[in-house]
Amino acid sequence: MATEQELVEILRSNPPVEPFRPYCHLDEKADALMVHFRNEPDYSKRLNDHVTLYLSLDNEQIVGCRIKNISGILADLPNFVRFKHGGIELAIIFWSFRGGADSEDQRRALNELAREATEHEMVLPA
């Protein structure tokens, strides 16, 4: 087990390479897409079977999300979306959950995720 001091030393000797920028990452092993809009202290809260929200501990604003079972969604995507240049916008993924939203809170959260993704011009990782 790494000691506390060893962990502190690892963190100290490996500082961030650049300031935070919004990003998304596809984790094939976990079959999940991680989306991060802001670098803020957060906690997670399940929105539905596929989406877990990351919410700010300070103000409950959405700072990111995790989309589970992403491989099935990505496999189906070419049936609905075609693109010629660049990647597919991340926001379309949130739209795919919109029809299954069963509460106003869910619809609001999905819209907020899509708005943030669009504002930050995020595209699905290749």
Partner 1 sequence: MSRWFIAFSARKPDDPEGSKWEIGIQERRFRRLQEQGHTVPLGRILLVRDTLENTVSIIGGWSRPDKDDCFAYVGRPSRDFRGATIETPAPPGMLFVVFVLPDGEIEHWTWRRQSEGDPDVPEGMGEKVIWRQNKS
**Footprint on this chain of partner 1 (rule: CB under 8 A):** 1-2, 4, 7-8, 10-12, 14-21, 23, 25, 27, 29-32, 34, 36, 39-46, 54, 57, 66, 68-69
We find the least distance from the C-beta atom of residue 84 to partner 1, in angstroms, to be: 29
Judge whether 22 and 65 are in contact, CB under 8 Å.
no
We find the least distance from the C-beta atom of residue 120 to partner 1, in angstroms, to be: 13
Q: Which is nearer to partner 1, 34 or 77 (CB)?
A: 34
- b/e burial code for range 37-66 (CB count within 10 A of at least 16 → b): beebebeeeebbebbbbbbeeeeeebbbbb
In the block, residue with structure tokens 């240049």? 85
Q: Which is nearer to partner 1, 14 or 79 (CB)?
A: 14
